[in-house]
Structure 1
Amino acid sequence: MPSVSTPPSRFLVGRYRLISLLGKGGMGTVWLASDDLLRQHVAIKEVRLPPDLDEGLRAELRERTLREARAAARLRAHPSIVTVHDIVIEDERPWIVMEFVQGRSLGQIIRDQGPLPAHQVADIGLHMLDALGAAHGSGILHRDIKPPNILITAEGRVVLTEFGIATVSGDPSLTQSGMLTGTPGFVAPERLRGEDDGPPSDLWSLGATLFAAVEGQAPYARERPTAVLAAVLMQEPNPMRLAGPLAPVLTGLLEKDPARRITREQAILQLRPIAAGTAPPPLGVPGGPASSTPPRRGTAASTQPSPRGGGTQATAPEPRPASRKRSVILGSVLAVVMVTAAGVATRDVWLSPQTTARPPGGTTTRATSAAAPSPAKEKEALYRGDPEACKLLTDQQAGRIIGTPVKRQFQTHSGCMWMKGDTGVFMNLTTIRSATSDFAHMVYSTTRTTMEEEPRRTPGTRLRSRSTAGDESFAYTREEVIVSTRIYRTQILFRKGNMTIVLYFTLHTPGYARADLAARLVEKNLEAFR
């Protein structure tokens, strides 16, 4: 077997010359290669079969690789699905020859840049929903959607890869004895329960992926894989702090009951306006009245947009898939999960977004209803421009706030960070521009509700509700000790007209003085974008 760091010094089938390593995973290594016949670069996935496997499992894994190639090859015309050119057998191992997509994975982007702005995540979601529409229409389930399996090029092309555990209609089922396929935290709960899955399971995984992109971590992030599986089965997702307008559609995609999960069409109707920077419609039946809860499939007829655009049409209710027999291996895994979950559920059950925080002094605060209109909206300015976050504070102003020397780090158009040398002191700025003040108020209220719960997540957090910037504002601060160093984490949320701003600080000095100064400077600098 060749080393995973140095390509073998030979051609595959006399045609493909391996050049360098692109990436590796549990079952495969991806190489950059040259197709010397067509004189173009390609990516080749080398499937590495563990030497201690018996012949039955080796044959099963080889068949799984062929399934991946067949699944992707059936979708080769779609721009958001990686194209498979060829598959060759060398040394009794399969090698998949694919187009070389020069870009970074969504997982790498999140690690390098942190949370992405809502409109960019919505755009990624639309590309993936389009790809899944093509896959599901061809009878293919992906079954492993997660940030590392989505590539994004410098030109903005979004590509779904790794159909390695796809299910192709008409192919015999692979048992994968002793293996639980998929990544904890991105596997739909019905799959963990051993039930028949379908397109809604891919939608759940996409919801978890988009959640990770906008929040910077997976919706069920825990320290141990068994705790993650338990959380997926029995708990609500972690609270959303940055999702803003994406929160309703993410909640609908992460519904545990596939019969109540929102459909691909509903998700598209939600994501399309968010990607364009406008407010999405109320989440409900596409083309029908708004509803706070997605309709239950199989219990009543639903309405769908007519293909001809003439209003809505009735569709027959979809029957729920019958549950299949659970495997012995999966049952064993869940037995471990249930034991572990006893402590996890007890610790995290109060993280429900319906709870309210009780700040020091015993007074319960509650965010204004997102449905309520923003106060004095007729007097508020609408910002027509879309300011880049890094331009809302100069480096000199940032230095006044966190100290010098200051280093600015561009994250996204809507996100910027300033750091004070290597001291661990930093300030992060996130902007969300809405089409109207009312929608910005809804974004503000959703974020404030999550902030109000911070004392329950981190005891010792103190809340402040009085306004110091913008038309409405909210803040919290807390003291922490990390490796004998005392730090203060502070977050200020404020809304000015149709702009919502979130400022987050890690400082060595207590109080709100520096944070308030930053909020006032940002508010003043916003005036250039009226």
Structure 2
Amino acid sequence: MSGHVLAGRYRLEGRIGSGGMGTVWSAVDETLRRTVAVKEIVFPDVLTPEERRVAAGRAQREARAAALIDHPGVITVHDVVIEDERPWIVIELVSGASLDQVIRRDGPRPPPVAAQIGLEVLDALEAAHAKGIVHRDVKPSNVLLADDGRVVLTDFGIASMEADPALTRTGTFVGSPGYIAPERLREQPGGPESDLWSLAATLYTAVEGRPPFERDSAMAALGAVLADEPAPPRQAGSLSPLLWYLLRKEPSARPDAGEVRRVLRNVAAGRPSGLPGAGFAPRAAPPRAAPPRKGPRRIWIPIAASVAVVAIGGMVAGAVAISASDGEDGSRATADSAPASPAAPRATPSPGASASTSAQLDLCGLLTRKQVSRLFPQGKPQVEEDEKSCGWAASKHGFMISDLHRSTGAPPPQSPAEAHNKYVSTKNAATAGVHYWGWPEIDVDHVKARETGARTVAGIGDEAFTYTSAGLSKSMDISGVVFRVNNTVLEIEHMYERGTASPGEAREAARWIARAVAARS
């Protein structure tokens, strides 16, 4: 390919780098006698003609997006050439290395240096946002540290443009695991606050030498973005509070660009951030009673065309055998508990209920042994418990209770109004789509399934909605209910082989649990 003249003008000279979507070449523009870079877009063989058309449109959109932004911190696009039915993007050749390459070569950056890089990336992002463009792929490999001292943001290939909705709403999921904001994984609109989240993930990597949600696989990283808190940084110094605030799951909880700029200036100058201390939670040690086990973290991402991404994270827990023969109604549904009389359930929580009810709830104690036996009439399930959820597992049959505030690492709601907001945001995110899920402890791996959207249901707590998931690749279904009782928002999921249970059983179990929560409020 070296020596090839593109469009009669751009002579390719040497390969600079390559990635999943193509190769970048150094080239000479023989008309203007200048050195440029040429991005060759290579389509995978498995793409259909329609998918190739969409991919070509994405490449042309990259050129249009970058061309709209006149800023020294944004890569300059000179030309787009179509040859061999593929787009080739001619861009400025930036002499230097990417932030990713610098970290790999020289190690983590000191917080003031990372903050200065962050300031310049923030400048570029604000210039893009002012034009209605959201980058959507901010990461260390897309931040170039030029030899002339500039910090240049590149690769607008998946940018969202207000003026070009046809190409931004194809339904295809694109992005880099570990740097994609949680709301984008939930198929919610990603705005400037999503780019700021990705900037925080990039700066975390710059100071720590690893991403905030580093996992063994791309799927696990995506799951961690949605469900886990980042590991507490050890080398971030005064940058740490900003990273914590920007990496929050809810976009509305993150600081805006003006506040981010103020903090980055402080850190770059060696001053304290000016923010309250970070709330990074230390990682809990696994229980010693049993080896760590993996439980279900069924996180779904809609699928279109040939792109399909999903994550199933792990739940650390000890396995505890259950005695299904014990039908005493008031006993906690674990083998190590003593019988106790249930408190009388109340339909509504008392006005003086504690704001920390959610944080204090014993999730495994919300079902009695008799109730668990009714859910598992054919076998004795194992209990899998951690601080965020409690699950019961038998072959081809599982049941999970999750506290949605604990799952995101957010502080417990201080009022029913705060819990209501969490419930509403969860309901809005529950759109129909295809997903994958699995739970090895119930002998189920990698089920492709189609999930319905949220359906409001009465008679469960203060407010509730249901959804179902029908297995496409295997006859395994899920019935789910999300509900709020006072300050607590819980999700229950009932996984079963088709024909062995029904959505009605999940709703009945949700009523049991809602009454138990109300009785403890």
TM range (shorter): 0.5 to 0.7
Q: CA deviation at 1:56?
A: 0.6
For residue 34 of structure 2, the aligned residue among 16, 32, 40 is 40
Q: CA deviation at 1:282?
A: 3.2
2:157 is aligned with 1:164: yes
2:58 is aligned with 1:64: yes
2:18 is aligned with 1:12: no
> How many Å separate the matches in 2 of 1:159 and 1:206?
13
- Aligned pairs (5 A) from 1:313-352: 327-328=302-303, 336-338=310-312, 340-343=313-316
For residue 16 of structure 2, the aligned residue among 18, 22, 30 is 22
Q: CA deviation at 1:155?
A: 3.3
For residue 145 of structure 2, the aligned residue among 143, 152, 155 is 152
> How many Å separate the matches in 2 of 1:215 and 1:16?
40
How many residues are treated as equivalent by the alignment?
306
Q: Please tell me the residue identity of whatever aligns with 2:27.
A: A
Identity of aligned residues (%): 48
For residue 52 of structure 1, the aligned residue among 26, 46, 62 is 46
Q: Where does the alignment leave 5 or more consecutive residues of structure 1 unmatched?
A: 1-6, 284-290, 294-324, 355-530
| 8 Å CA contact retained: 2:227, 2:408 | no
2:136 is aligned with 1:114: no
> How many Å separate the matches in 2 of 1:82 and 1:343?
44
Instruction: Deviation per CA, 1:113-133: give whole Å up to 9, x if none.
Output: 111100000000000110011
> How many Å separate the matches in 2 of 1:153 and 1:212?
19
Q: CA deviation at 1:271?
A: 0.5
Structure 2 residue aligned with 1:125 = 118
CA root-mean-square deviation: 2.9
Q: Please tell me the residue identity of whatever aligns with 2:183.
A: E
For residue 243 of structure 1, the aligned residue among 236, 239, 249 is 236
Q: CA deviation at 1:231?
A: 1.0
> How many Å separate the matches in 2 of 1:118 and 1:159?
19
| 8 Å CA contact retained: 2:173, 2:303 | no
Structure 2 residue aligned with 1:282 = 275
- Aligned pairs (5 A) from 1:266-305: 266-282=259-275
For residue 142 of structure 1, the aligned residue among 118, 135, 139 is 135
Q: Please tell me the residue identity of whatever aligns with 2:311.
A: V
> How many Å separate the matches in 2 of 1:178 and 1:215?
34
Query: What is the SS of the residue equivalent to 2:166?
Result: coil
Q: CA deviation at 1:342?
A: 3.5
2:73 is aligned with 1:91: no
Q: Where does the alignment leave 5 or more consecutive residues of structure 2 unmatched?
A: 280-299, 318-383, 389-405, 411-521
Change in Cα spacing, 1:68 to 1:201, as seen in structure 2 (3 Å) is same
Change in Cα spacing, 1:12 to 1:346, as seen in structure 2 (3 Å) is farther
Instruction: Deviation per CA, 1:353-372: give whole Å up to 9, x if none.
Output: 99xxxxxxxxxxxxxxxxxx
Structure 2 residue aligned with 1:399 = none
Instruction: Deviation per CA, 1:247-293: give whole Å up to 9, x if none.
Output: 0111111111001111111110001021122233235xxxxxxx989
2:67 is aligned with 1:73: yes
| 8 Å CA contact retained: 1:215, 1:240 | yes
More displaced stretch, 239-248 vs 174-183: 174-183
Change in Cα spacing, 1:70 to 1:235, as seen in structure 2 (3 Å) is same
> How many Å separate the matches in 1 of 2:39 and 2:32?
18
Change in Cα spacing, 1:107 to 1:348, as seen in structure 2 (3 Å) is farther
For residue 216 of structure 1, the aligned residue among 209, 214, 236 is 209
Q: CA deviation at 1:58?
A: 0.8
| 8 Å CA contact retained: 2:143, 2:153 | yes
> How many Å separate the matches in 2 of 1:348 and 1:122?
34
Q: Please tell me the residue identity of whatever aligns with 2:66.
A: A
Q: CA deviation at 1:28?
A: 1.6
Change in Cα spacing, 1:351 to 1:240, as seen in structure 2 (3 Å) is farther
Query: What is the SS of the residue equivalent to 2:152?
Result: strand
Q: CA deviation at 1:337?
A: 2.1
| 8 Å CA contact retained: 1:239, 1:351 | no
Q: Please tell me the residue identity of whatever aligns with 1:148.
A: S
Instruction: Deviation per CA, 1:440-498: give whole Å up to 9, x if none.
Output: xxxxxxxxxxxxxxxxxxxxxxxxxxxxxxxxxxxxxxxxxxxxxxxxxxxxxxxxxxx
Q: Please tell me the residue identity of whatever aligns with 1:30.
A: V
Q: Please tell me the residue identity of whatever aligns with 1:337.
A: A
Output the TM-score relative to the length of structure 1. Answer: 0.54
Instruction: Deviation per CA, 1:133-169: give whole Å up to 9, x if none.
Output: 1000000000000000000023321000000000111
> How many Å separate the matches in 2 of 1:68 and 1:84?
9
Change in Cα spacing, 1:177 to 1:342, as seen in structure 2 (3 Å) is farther
Structure 1 residue aligned with 2:248 = 255
| 8 Å CA contact retained: 1:18, 1:31 | yes
Structure 2 residue aligned with 1:183 = 176
Change in Cα spacing, 1:346 to 1:139, as seen in structure 2 (3 Å) is farther
| 8 Å CA contact retained: 1:214, 1:242 | yes
Q: Please tell me the residue identity of whatever aligns with 1:35.
A: D
| 8 Å CA contact retained: 1:222, 1:228 | yes
Change in Cα spacing, 1:49 to 1:273, as seen in structure 2 (3 Å) is same
Query: What is the SS of the residue equivalent to 2:196?
Result: helix
